[in-house]
């Protein structure tokens, strides 16, 4: 019997719940919730609030993050680590270090101060574009690459325009 799942999406910088990626997620997973944030928000407080939302749910959590949202999800999972909740986690072009940012002017100080240097996590699914013009995925640590499933989206950019093509892989990861 399949477990009942609750999908949570955390978007990247300069995005929102109105983004095409989240709309695609909602079509595939109708109960998906966007954990929305804005530049200028206290992201440490947002992360704590989101963790409480997940803890209050009766359903098993699946976290999907895009770019900066991935960094926030790692911080959420660190807070959840002491609980019995261990979400399946999918990252789309993850920002795991400020060193990855190719265009430094894109990262506002109001967000930069909340970005953690992420060197390790395991058992996540990472989908990265081979032609990402915003983040350098070669800077993802070898430890992370060896401890997680990694899928390269060929001939794709930071927006991950071929995102829908990867739902079969995402479903296989979630239900494994």
Sequence-ordered list of residues with C-beta below 8 angstroms from that of 120, at least 6 positions apart, any chain: 141, 143, 144, 147
Please name the helix (run of DSSP H) or strand (run of DSSP E) that holds residue 129, with its range, or none.
strand 125-129
CB 133 within 8 A of CB 158: yes
The model's pTM is: 0.95
CB 90 within 8 A of CB 125: yes
pLDDT tens by residue, 9-32: 999 999 999 999 999 999 999 999
* Per-domain boundaries in the chain: 5-174
pLDDT tens by residue, 124-171: 999 999 999 999 999 998 889 999 999 999 999 999 999 999 999 999
Structural fold of domain 5-174: Rossmann fold (3.40.50)
Q: How far apart are CA 4 and CA 135, in angstroms?
A: 34
Q: How far apart are CA 126 and CA 160, in angstroms?
A: 12
């Amino acid at each position: 019997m399949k477990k009942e799942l609750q999908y949570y999406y955390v978007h990247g910088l300069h995005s929102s719940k109105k983004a095409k990626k989240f709309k695609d997620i909602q079509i595939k997973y109708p109960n998906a919730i966007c954990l929305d944030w804005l530049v200028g928000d206290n992201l440490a407080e947002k992360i704590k609030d989101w963790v409480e939302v997940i803890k209050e749910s009766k359903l098993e959590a699946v976290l999907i993050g895009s770019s900066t949202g991935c960094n926030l999800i790692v911080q959420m999972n660190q807070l959840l680590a002491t609980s019995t909740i261990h979400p399946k986690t999918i990252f789309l072009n993850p920002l795991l270090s400020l060193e990855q940012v190719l265009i430094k002017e894109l990262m506002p100080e109001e967000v930069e101060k909340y970005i953690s240097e992420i060197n390790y996590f395991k058992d996540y699914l990472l989908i990265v574009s081979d032609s990402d013009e915003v983040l350098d995925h070669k800077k993802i640590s070898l430890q992370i690459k060896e401890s997680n499933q990694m899928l390269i989206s060929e001939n794709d950019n930071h927006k991950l325009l071929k995102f829908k093509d990867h739902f079969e892989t995402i479903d296989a990861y979630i239900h494994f």
